[in-house]
Structure 1
Amino acid sequence: MTGIVIVRPDDSWPAQYEKTARVVSELLGETALRIDHIGSTSVPGLPAKDIIDMQVTVGTEPELDDVVERMAAADWEVRSPKRDHPVPGLPADDLQWVKRVLVEPMYRRRVNLHIRVAGRANQRYALLFRDYLRNHPDTARAYGEFKVRAAALPIESTAEYTDLKDPVCDLIYLPAEEWAARTGWTA
């Protein structure tokens, strides 16, 4: 049995994000160029793990570790991923995929905090993926169905679930790039 639980959409997820974003903003000040609600909980009507994903965008790579130090001092827990998977058709340069991840202090609302550098492929990916799904509800519904079915598989870990999900996300992202070019979308 898997530990992955996909729940029905919760209309309070945006408000939960806003509350946490205020706390993160106070901790980081101007180091955070922007703080965004990303991931499935940021797409209305999309089933998701009941974990708020947030992206903090910083200006330079050294600021990634500065953010980690500040957040760790506030009892946020550092997690191991230091890069995202490269996406076919996007730059393969490792610097484009560097990130840091933290999770909320113990006994607080579940949050995955992704820290990425402005203008890098992975920073754009998270925002474009979200906005594409927000503007393509049929694609969001199909993705939600995939997530529900994937979570029902005998997956041993969150890492296995992510490995299964990544190529599906890429299949959504590639037409999202075309949509962005066609519509003039910007992050």
Structure 2
Amino acid sequence: MPFQDELGSGVRVVDYDPEWPHEFDHLAARLRGVLGDLALAIDHVGSTSVPGLAAKNCIDAQVRVAELSPYLVDLMESAGFRCRPEPWNRTETSNGQACDKLVFAPPIGERPTNIHFRLATGPNTRFALLFRDYLRANPAARTAWGAFKQRLAQSVPDIFDYGQIKAPATTLLMQSAEHWSTQTNWTVS
């Protein structure tokens, strides 16, 4: 669940904002300053990373790391970021495999972000990059996905319920993405 300062008027999916990549760049530079070489890569993921895709106005960054250690939590918290405590922010399932992760919220008062720490070689890391790259490459899927999320947000204002309903649709989307990855020989870069 969101932190108290993140509670608002429900889920709102907005049209794509061309400033999102610049906001991600600023966040990524800040994270590099905090993490140094511990960040093997910092990726813009999620819907805000797909030009033209409607999204919640929340930048998702993926930090690829060699290990998920308590030291990462200490570093991030010393920079003001807040570790999300919910179980679904600690473990996620990708292609049937449970994967550990850590998710951080921004310091109080800053723009909405989710910073996902994942193992560099984890299936959940691949999942996030495949989601992004598939929707960047497929205009029909991108338009349909954006329209679905906008309709869902209008009828389901609770963020938890929104996520629970969106999950099975994401599974269907990712089946198409997997097919596309095979056809195009897509790989994680």
The equivalent position to 1:117 in structure 2, one of 111, 119, 122, is: 119
Q: Distance in 1 between matches of 2:171 and 2:9?
A: 23
Asked if 1:29 is matched to 2:36, the reply is yes
Structure 1, residues 9-64: CA drift from partner, whole Å, max 9, x if none? 101100010011000011001101100000110000111111100000101233xx
Asked if 1:9 is matched to 2:16, the reply is yes
SS in 2 for 1:54: strand
Cross-structure match for 1:170: 171
Asked if 1:18 is matched to 2:20, the reply is no
Q: Distance in 2 between matches of 1:184 and 1:73?
A: 41
Q: Which amino acid is 2:21 matched to? A: P
Q: Distance in 1 between matches of 2:58 and 2:157?
A: 18
The answer (yes or no) to whether the contact 1:58–1:116 under 8 Å persists in 2 is: yes
Structure 1, residues 120-162: CA drift from partner, whole Å, max 9, x if none? 1111100000000000011010000010011011443x22111
SS in 2 for 1:44: coil
Cross-structure match for 2:162: 161
Cross-structure match for 1:83: 91
Greater shift after overlay, 1-10 or 27-36?
1-10
Give the TM-score, by structure 1 length.
0.90
Q: Which amino acid is 1:139 matched to? A: A
Deviation of residue 2 (structure 1)?
A: 6.1
Asked if 1:58 is matched to 2:65, the reply is yes
Which structure has more strand as a fraction of its residues?
A: 2
SS in 2 for 1:61: coil
Cross-structure match for 1:49: 56
Q: Distance in 2 between matches of 1:75 and 1:61?
A: 18
Deviation of residue 73 (structure 1)?
A: 0.8
Q: Distance in 1 between matches of 2:117 and 2:77?
A: 13
Q: Distance in 2 between matches of 1:111 and 1:185?
A: 27
Q: Distance in 2 between matches of 1:140 and 1:129?
A: 10
Aligned length: 178
The alignment's C-alpha RMSD in Å is 1.5
The answer (yes or no) to whether the contact 1:91–1:121 under 8 Å persists in 2 is: no
SS in 2 for 1:22: helix
The answer (yes or no) to whether the contact 1:2–1:154 under 8 Å persists in 2 is: no
Cross-structure match for 2:134: 132
Cross-structure match for 1:40: 47
The answer (yes or no) to whether the contact 2:55–2:146 under 8 Å persists in 1 is: yes
Q: Distance in 2 between matches of 1:82 and 1:170?
A: 20
Q: Which runs of 5+ in 2 are unaligned?
A: 1-7
Cross-structure match for 1:180: 181
- Identity score, percent: 38
Q: Which amino acid is 1:83 matched to? A: T
